[in-house]
Amino acid sequence: MFLFFAVIAGALVLAVVVGGDVRRLSQIRVKHLELLIGAFGLKLVVALLGTAHSELAVNIARPLNIVGAVLLLAVVWFNRRIPGALLFGAGLVLNLAAIVSFGGRMPVVLPSGMDPSSARLAALRNGLDPLHVLLPQPYGPWFIGDIFSIPSLVGRSSLVSIGDILMASGIVWLIVQCSRRVPSTSHAVDRPAVVLKRSAK
């Protein structure tokens, strides 16, 4: 989650630096907003289930993770003409494939520098994380799971997937492209059309 907040903030700054106007982002019209709300609603439910720290909560969350990703993918499809949507969708497809392949949760392979006994990884280590499943060793399509470590502002590393990176790239493309100013045509000079008439025979 930190990745996407950081990406949005960075993209807004980049858009301003390259001469864009971020106020133009308000002109974006998203089709089938109800599907987007449903996807985020399921994400919230899964987050709340994560506070239960129980196997029952995990079992309930697994299908919700898949349904939420499918709803979000549908939103991307209906809005595929928006800049960056297809790139975001490609990343989402990879994440969805990983989630489905591992029973409704995102596979995680801890890098060598990360301490698996860390307190903040307790739920993941005990199998009670509703979003992620820890792989003791790589197997299956592990390479599309959360395997890349990125630093965060609070000094902790976060794990992301190649799908997350593609989705983040799509967000950057969207913000920068949609905030670009439209060239003004107010100073354009209309040239009179020259009409050629054939002489009558």
Question: Model confidence over 49-81: pLDDT tens digits?
Answer: 999 999 999 999 999 999 999 999 999 999 999
Domain-embedded: residue 187 = no
- Contact in structure between 51 and 137 (CB atoms under 8 Å): no
- Contact in structure between 107 and 142 (CB atoms under 8 Å): yes
- Contact in structure between 161 and 144 (CB atoms under 8 Å): yes
Domain-embedded: residue 199 = no
Distances in Å between the alpha carbon of 157 and those of 4, 8, 84, 116?
Answer: 14, 19, 27, 13
Domain-embedded: residue 188 = no
- pLDDT value at residue 111: 82
Domain-embedded: residue 112 = yes
Q: Which residues contact 9 (CB under 8 A, 6 or more apart)?
A: none
**DSSP letter assigned to residue 146:** B
Instruction: Give how many domains the chain has, as a whole number.
Output: 1
Helix, strand, coil % over all residues of the chain, rounded to 5:
55, 5, 40
- CA pseudo-torsion sign 160, 163, 74, 131: negative
Q: What is the pTM of this model?
A: 0.84
Distance CA 174, CA 139 (A): 34
Average pLDDT of every residue of the chain: 87
Q: Is the model's pLDDT at 93 over the cut of 50?
A: yes
Domain-embedded: residue 186 = no
Domain-embedded: residue 196 = no
Domain-embedded: residue 51 = yes
Distance CA 97, CA 73 (A): 12
Domain around 136: 2-178
Domain-embedded: residue 101 = yes
Q: Which residues contact 74 (CB under 8 A, 6 or more apart)?
A: 32, 35
Average pLDDT over residues 163-191: 77
